[in-house]
Structure 1
Amino acid sequence: RNDQGMKRLLLISYAFPPMAAVGGHRTVKFAKFLPEFGWEPTVLTVRSGFNYAYDPSLLDDLPGSLKVLRTRSMEPLRWWEGRKGRETEYASGEEVDRWGSSLPTGSETECSCSAVGGPARDMGRAARGIKQLARDLLTTPDEQVWWIPFAVAAGLKAVADGIDVIYTTSPPHSTHLAGWLLSLLTGKPWVADFRDLWTSNIHFLPSRRGGKRERVERWLEARLLRDAAAIITTSEKSRELLSSQIGGNGRADREARTRWFTITNGFDPDDFADAVEEGGRGVQPGSLSPRDWGLLRERDGGRFIITFLGSLYGDRRPDLLLAGLKEWFRTEPEVRPFVRVKLVGNKSPDIEGRLSLGELVGSIDISGHLPHRKALALLRRSNLLLLLLGGGEENGGVIPAKLFEYLYVGQPILALVPEGEAAMLVRLLARGSVVTEESPQAVARELRYWYRAWRGEIDPPPTEGGGLLSLYERRNCTSMLARVLEYVRKDNR
C-alpha cells in the first residue's frame, strides 16, 4: 500500500492513448475511477505502438497523478516486409493495424512463382513456406509478442516498488503472456481481462486454423486461463465461450469457474460535456421527450440523419442496411432527398469501394476515424443511430463498446444484429428497435417508422429512464473491477 493506504495495481495495456483503439477507452476509465475505490493504478504500456488512428485528446482524461510507464517495443515484421507490404488486417472485434500476409507487389519472390515454372516455381513455394514459418515464429500469438521482454522488465521494477495485483487487458493477447510471466516471477496475483475472445473469436484468422499455430495458441490460451487468479470478459456469452477453452470437469472445474467475472464496457457522462459544446444546440443525453423530437427536426433543417460509428470489416458489413435503404426508397422515392446516412470509421477496401459506387451514392456520406469528442458530438446531431453486427449466433455475445454511448446519448437506435446481448440491451432499455432477420423489408419498415416519428407524424415510443442505464456508467463498472481486485488480493494472502 502507498502512504495514503491505497492498494496498488499494475495495469498493463498495449492499447492506450494517444492510440485511438476502442480498448484504450476501457483502460483509461478504469485508471480514472479506481482511486475512488481505494486502488492506485500504475499503467504499463508501449511508448510508440502501432494503431490505425491516434487521438491525443484522450490523454486529457487521465488523472494528473497517474503514473504511466511507457516502454520500447520490437515488432520484426515491420522491419522484414517494409512499407510496401503493409495492409490493414482486422483480426478481432477490435481494430488492430497489422501487416498483411501477402508479399510486396512486384517482389522477386512473387515474380518467380507466378511468371515462370519448374525449379523457379518450387523455389517460390519454398520461399513462401519459409516466410510463413518465420511469420508464425515471430508473431505467435500476435505481432506484439516482442513487446513482452520490455513489458516484463519494466513490470519487475514496478512490482519491486510495491504492487498488490497485476492486471492485463487484451487484445493483443501477448499482453496476458507478459502478466502471466510477471505473476510467475513475483508471486503477485494476476487478473486477465479479455475485451475480445482469442481462439474462439469468429475473426480468428482462417490462416491459423487447423495448423500447428492454432494448436500452440489454444495451448497458450488454456494455460493462461488456468493460471490467472481471475478472468474478466465483457459479456456473459463471451465468458461461456472462453471458459469452454479450459476443458475438464468435476470439482476442479467448478472451482475454476468461480474465478470468472463479467464487466461490460460503459459510458462516462463527463465525455459528453465537450460533445455538447462541439455538437452545438441539441437534446440533453438521456431519454427523448416530445420537445426533444421537435428540437431535432428544427435543428437538422429537414434532413433525417442516420449515423453509424465504427469499423466495417469481415462480416460486419453494411449490406443489409443498403438493401433496406433501397427498398425504402423504392416504395417511397419522395423521402430520399431528406435522408442522409453517415458511415464514420475505418472500412476494409472492398467495403469502401462498394460504398463509393452504386445507386445510393448521394445518400451516403463516407468518412474515416474521428477523434472521440467529435464522434460523440456527431451522435448528438444524429436522428437515428445504427448498430451493425454480422449474423450468426457466434456474434450473440458481442456487445460493441459504442452501444453504451449510443444508449446514453438517447437518440433512437436501429440495431441490425443477431439475437444476443446487444439486442437484449436495446430492447431492455427501450432505446430503439432490433432487426435480427436478414430482411430488407424489415429494415425498410423500421427506417420508415423512425422517419415518421422524427417528422412528428406518429408519437415516438417511451424510453426507459436512467435507472437501469446507470448500471453501465464507467464509474460503476470500475467499482465491479475493484471488487474483483480485492477478491484476488485477499485470496492470495
Structure 2
Amino acid sequence: MKPELKKILIITYYWPPAGGPGVQRWLKFVKYLPDFDIEPIVYIPENPTYPIVDGNLEKEVADNVIILKNKIFEPYQLASVFSKNKTKKISSGIIPNKKKQTFLDKALLWIRGNLFIPDARVFWVKPSVAYLEKYIIENNIDTIITSGPPHSLHLIGLVLKQKIKLTWFADFRDPWTTIGYHKSLRLSVRAERKHKALEYRVLNTADRVIVTSKTTKTEFKEITGKPISVITNGYDNEPGTEVVLDSKFSLAHIGSFLSERNPVVLWGTLAELILEIPEFKSHLELKLIGAVSQEVLDTISQYNLDSYLNNIGYVSHSEAVAYQRNSQVLLLIEINSEETKSIIPGKLFEYMVSNRPIIAIGPKDSDFADIITGTNTGVFFEYYEKEKLKNTIISYYNQFLEGKLQSYGVGLQKYSRKNLTKELAQLIHSKS
C-alpha cells in the first residue's frame, strides 16, 4: 500500500509564466517531489512584476499541483512611471556600470537598496503571513520551504516559524549580503546593518539551510550553527528535435550578459585570431541569447567584432536549449570578484548535457570551475589567462574544421533534476 504523501508548503516568487533561471529550480523540484512521497503546495504572488516572461513554462506545471496565490504590491510598478526600461533592468539584476550611471540610475539604486530591505517584495511579507498562517493550520502542514532571492520571502518563513510550530527550510538560490550586485545598491551604513541583521536572524531561525554551492555553505557556517546542505541546480531531460550543428564556428552565450561580466580578454583574443588566421573570420559567429548590457555591446564594437555578432535577445527556455545544442562552443562568463566565486549559473548544467564544449571564464577558485573540470565538459579560465584561452579556442577551431568538435562529459547523472529532488526529499523526510 502506497504511503500517504507528506504535505509541504513552498513559498516562491518566481513561477511560470516567469522566465529566466530563477523559476527553474522549484518548478523542477515540484515536478518530481510526488515521486518521493511528498505533495508540494506552491504559494506565489497573484500579480507579480516579472522582468522576463516565458509562457511556454506553464505547460510544465502539473495539473494536480495546488497553487495558492495572493496579491502583492511592488514598488517597481510605481518606479516604472519614471523609466520602465531602467526599473525592468534593475529588477532583473542588470545594473549599469558605476562610471556610466545617470542621476536617475543612482536614485533608483539608492531607493532600491535603502528603502526596500531586503528587497522590493518586502510588502508581500505581512499579507502572506496572515494568509498562510490560517491555511497551514487548517490543512495540517508542518513543513515549509522559502526560496530566495528575493530574500524577503525568507522573512515570511521567519514570522511563520515564530507563530506556528513547524519545520522551516530556507533555500538560498544565491547568497544574500555577499551576492555580486549587493555593493552596487548604494547602501547606507544603517541599511547594510539591517541587511546583515535580517540575514543572521533567518540563518539562525530556520531549521535547515539549503544552498547551491560549497562556498556559500562556507560563508554561512561563519554566521550560523544550523545544518546547511548543498543541493545544486541541475538539468532535466528536455525533449528536442534532431540536432543540426551550426555551419559557422559559433560561440554562444545564453542568459543575461551583465556589464560586470564583460570578458575583455575574450574579445581581444577573438580579434587577434581574426588577424592571425586568415580563414577564421569567415567561420566565426558570436551568438548572444538573452538580455545584453550596452557596455558589453560597446566593447564588442571596440574590438571590431560587430560583423560577427548575432545578438538574438531573449528567447523561451525551450528555444534556449535548442541554441545550446546547435552551437559549436558555449560561453559561461562570471564576474571577476571574490563575491562571485560561489555563483554556479543554472545554465551550466544544461550546457553540460548539450555535448558542446564549454569555455568558462571567472574568478579564481570558482565553484563552477570544479564542476566543469570534474565532468570533463569544458575548460575554465581566469581572466588573466589569455594565452591558455587563445590556445583552447584554436584547438576547438581545428576540431571544428575536422568535424570532430564535441564534449565527452562524465558523471553527469548526479546533476539530474530527479536525483537532486531525491536528495531534497531525503532531507524533508528526515525532519518528519
Q: Same fold (TM over 0.5)?
A: yes
Does 2:161 correspond to 1:183? yes
Identity, in percent, stands at 28
Residue in structure 2 matched with residue 363 of structure 1 by the alignment: 308
2:271, 2:303 within 8 Å by CA — same for their partners in 1?
Answer: no
Change (3 A) 1:17 1:187: same
Q: CA deviation at 1:345?
A: 1.0
1:158 is paired with a residue whose SS is helix
Residue in structure 2 matched with residue 28 of structure 1 by the alignment: 27
Q: Paired residue for 1:339, among 261, 284, 301?
A: 284
1:171, 1:195 within 8 Å by CA — same for their partners in 2?
Answer: yes
Q: Paired residue for 1:95, among 92, 97, 114?
A: 92
Length, aligned pairs only: 426
Q: Paired residue for 1:316, among 261, 270, 289?
A: 261
1:165, 1:190 within 8 Å by CA — same for their partners in 2?
Answer: yes
| Mapping of residues 90-239 of structure 1, within 5 Å | 95-96=92-93, 138-159=115-136, 160-209=138-187, 211-239=189-217
Residue in structure 2 matched with residue 474 of structure 1 by the alignment: 417
2:63 is paired with a residue whose SS is coil
1:13, 1:43 within 8 Å by CA — same for their partners in 2?
Answer: yes
| Mapping of residues 428-443 of structure 1, within 5 Å | 428-443=374-389
Does 2:253 correspond to 1:267? no
Q: CA deviation at 1:205?
A: 3.2
State how far apart, in whole Å, the 1-side matches of 2:302 and 2:110 are.
39
Deviations 1:148-180 (A, max 9, x none): 123223322331222120100000000000111
1:77, 1:135 within 8 Å by CA — same for their partners in 2?
Answer: no
1:414, 1:432 within 8 Å by CA — same for their partners in 2?
Answer: yes
* Bigger CA radius of gyration: 1
State how far apart, in whole Å, the 2-side matches of 1:96 and 1:132 are.
11
Q: CA deviation at 1:90?
A: 6.5
Q: CA deviation at 1:235?
A: 0.6
Change (3 A) 1:25 1:189: same
Residue in structure 2 matched with residue 116 of structure 1 by the alignment: none
Q: Which amino acid aligns with 1:479?
A: K
2:93, 2:181 within 8 Å by CA — same for their partners in 1?
Answer: no
TM-score (norm 2): 0.90
Residue in structure 1 matched with residue 296 of structure 2 by the alignment: 351
Change (3 A) 1:89 1:444: farther
TM-score (norm 1): 0.80
2:353, 2:409 within 8 Å by CA — same for their partners in 1?
Answer: no
Deviations 1:293-325 (A, max 9, x none): xxx4xxx34x11111101111421232221121
Q: Paired residue for 1:405, among 339, 346, 350?
A: 350
Change (3 A) 1:361 1:369: same
2:49, 2:74 within 8 Å by CA — same for their partners in 1?
Answer: no
Residue in structure 1 matched with residue 399 of structure 2 by the alignment: 453
Residue in structure 2 matched with residue 19 of structure 1 by the alignment: 18
Deviations 1:192-248 (A, max 9, x none): 0000101122321334445100001100100110000000000111111123234xx
- Structure 2: 5+ residue stretches without partners: none
RMSD: 2.8
Deviating more after overlay: 12-21 vs 205-214: 205-214
State how far apart, in whole Å, the 1-side matches of 2:113 and 2:37 are.
42
Change (3 A) 1:167 1:28: same
Q: CA deviation at 1:370?
A: 0.9
Q: CA deviation at 1:45?
A: 0.6
Residue in structure 2 matched with residue 249 of structure 1 by the alignment: none
Change (3 A) 1:460 1:76: closer
Q: Which amino acid aligns with 2:339?
A: E
Q: Which amino acid aligns with 1:169?
A: S
Deviating more after overlay: 447-456 vs 309-318: 309-318
2:351 is paired with a residue whose SS is helix
Residue in structure 2 matched with residue 42 of structure 1 by the alignment: 41
State how far apart, in whole Å, the 1-side matches of 2:321 and 2:141 are.
36
State how far apart, in whole Å, the 2-side matches of 1:133 and 1:394 are.
21
State how far apart, in whole Å, the 2-side matches of 1:13 and 1:35 are.
18
Change (3 A) 1:310 1:136: closer
Residue in structure 2 matched with residue 124 of structure 1 by the alignment: none
Residue in structure 2 matched with residue 84 of structure 1 by the alignment: 83
Deviating more after overlay: 78-87 vs 28-37: 78-87
Deviating more after overlay: 317-326 vs 371-380: 317-326
